[in-house]
Amino acid sequence: MKDHDIPVAPDHAERFEGNFTQQEPIPETAIAAAVAVMQSGRLHRYNTGPGELSETALLEQEFAAQTGAKYCLAVASGGYAMATALRAMGVGPGDKVLTNAFTLAPVPGAIAAIGAQPVFVGVTEALTIDLDDLAAKADQADVLLLSHMRGHLCDMDRLMEICAASNIAVIEDCAHTMGAAWRGVPSGRVGAIGCYSCQTYKHVNSGEGGLIVTDDADLAARMILLSGSYMLYERHLAAPEPEVFERVKYDTPNISGRMDNLRAAILRPQLQDLDRQVARWNERYRVLEAGLRDVPGLTIVERPGEESIVGSSFQFLLLDWSGDKVQEVVSRCGARGVELKWFGAETPVAFTSKYDHWRYAPSEPMPASDRVLAAVVDIRVPLTFTLEDCAQIARIIRAETGIVYQSGENKAETGG
């Protein structure tokens, strides 16, 4: 559809006036903590005087306690966290790493960054990793970088059974699941390592930033050294004992990617408020979910009872619609102020891309996954939206999807 073909909403149609990229302000307590760091001049995490504890070390200690992990490391980004976790596990150039076909570019990017090769595993209509496909490909790699894409947790019990049977180590990408859980176990605490993002559009906001948790002392020591601790690892509060570092410090390169005290100061109050924020996201998610039920041609992604969600984004499926008709829904909603993202586009758009766009990570075609990806429509749900905003968004999507569906031309050319 060309720009001049995008429909304009009639004057009588309601329009949404909100902003899908506007975050809430940084809390006043976090601003005060950041100002204190700036006034001190001690932004570098290891720039501490005798008896001082850095904001970054305190953040790590607090997040370890919050997740129930033994060890935690704060780093520069979620992507750096994943690459560091892979390096700590010994993944190197030419190695293969299993990962989701449905994810965002930083996940295969972290694999490619160390010269390794992604092996993509399919996606189901539940928007989780296809566990049957994982079982079929389990002999192809020793590590799974599992992306909990858009906050959807798969059956983690079955996944770990598959991985244990094939001796596959699991790294969890929890960029979209900080605060979520499977059967009460926090996301990031099922596999060997959990990686989180603190980028602006995630669940805590420091612009950029990442956190890593693990219970494995050797992995923790390697990751701390990789992040650029030099020989200052004793200034960490959520780290292994010094003797663990003695085993690995001469063989672990410094690939600097530390978090600084300014970001840590901004994050600490936000993490203390995470449970309340999760509850607020979920209220908005459930309003969208209720408003979009029983729309002809639109499939709600049902969430299993074992999953405790963080509804910071919402997805629905337009299964077996032609690409033109999905794009028409996106365009019609956009004309009424509702910004939708579609994972079936032929080329990457903004943050949205899919496995066959990443030419640095070639893959065989995956028809079953392609069918799902061609149907995925995504909505960001910032906490600046009210519940009524979410109800209005649902009304607009419902109306415009219905108009396109009723055109009778929504089926894909393949007849699926």
| Closest-CA residue to 36 (of 365, 376, 268) | 268
Nearest Cα to Cα of residue 192 among 253, 144, 132, 131: 144
Residue that is written with structure tokens 């300014």 in the block? 262
Using left for φ > 0, alpha for ψ between -120 and 50, and beta otherwise, residue 70 falls in alpha
CB 79 within 8 A of CB 210: yes
Distance of CA 406 to the CA centre of its chain: 35
Q: How far apart are CA 60 and CA 151, in angstroms?
A: 23
Per residue of the chain (416 residues), what is the pLDDT tens digit?
A: 443 344 555 555 899 999 999 999 999 999 999 999 999 999 999 999 888 999 999 999 999 999 999 999 999 999 999 999 999 999 999 999 999 999 999 999 999 999 999 999 999 999 999 999 999 999 999 999 999 999 999 999 999 999 999 999 999 999 999 999 999 999 999 999 999 999 999 999 999 999 999 999 999 999 999 999 999 999 999 999 999 999 999 999 999 999 999 999 999 999 999 999 999 999 999 999 999 999 999 999 999 999 999 999 999 999 999 999 999 999 999 999 999 999 998 888 888 888 989 999 989 899 999 999 999 999 999 999 999 999 999 999 999 999 999 986 555 443 33
Going through 156-278 in order, the beta strands assigned E by DSSP cover: 169-173, 181-182, 185-186, 193-197, 210-214
Run of H or E residues at 59: helix 55-67
pLDDT in tens, 189-241: 999 999 999 999 999 999 999 999 999 999 999 999 999 999 999 999 999 99
Secondary structure of 303-334 in HEC code, one letter for each residue: CCCCEECCCCEEEEECCCECHHHHHHHHHHHH
Q: Is 339 helix (H, G, I), strand (E, B) or coil?
A: coil
Q: Helix %, strand %, coil % for the chain, to 5? A: 40, 15, 45
CA 185 to each of CA 69, 335, 341: distance values in angstroms, whole numbers, following the listed order: 11, 42, 30
3.40.50.300, 3.30.43.10, 3.40.640.10, 3.40.50.620: CATH of 28-272: 3.40.640.10
Distance CA 358, CA 393 (A): 32
| Tokens representing residue 70 in the block | 């033994």
Q: Where along the chain do its domains lie?
A: 28-272, 274-406
| Distance of alpha carbon 356 from alpha carbon 359, whole angstroms | 7
Token code pair at residue 213 = 């948790």
Determine how β-strand 117-121 pairs with β-strand 143-147: unpaired
What is the reported pLDDT for 6? 43
pLDDT at 5: 47
DSSP H helices, 114-251, are 131-136, 156-165, 217-226, 242-248
Instruction: Tell me which residue has tokens 């904001």.
Output: 55
* Alpha helix stretches (DSSP H) within 351-414: 367-373, 387-406
Beta pairing, strands 193-197 & 299-300 = unpaired
The pairing of beta strand 169-173 with beta strand 299-300: unpaired
Task: Using alpha carbons, list the distances in angstroms from residue 254 to 56, 93, 219, 228, 294.
Answer: 18, 17, 15, 5, 54
Topology annotation, domain 274-406: Aspartate Aminotransferase, domain 1 (3.90.1150)
- Tokens for 3, please give them: 């720009």
Q: What does the alpha-carbon distance between residue 416 and residue 412 come to, in Å, rounded to a whole number?
A: 6
* Cα–Cα distance, 164 to 85 (Å, whole number): 19
Instruction: Give, in order, the Cα–Cα distances in Å from 365 to each of 120, 137, 308, 357, 371.
Output: 10, 15, 33, 12, 11
Secondary structure letter of residue 265 according to DSSP? H
Phi, psi of 232 (to 5 degrees): -105, 20
Note the pLDDT tens digit of each residue in 227-267: 999 999 999 999 999 999 999 999 999 999 999 999 999 99
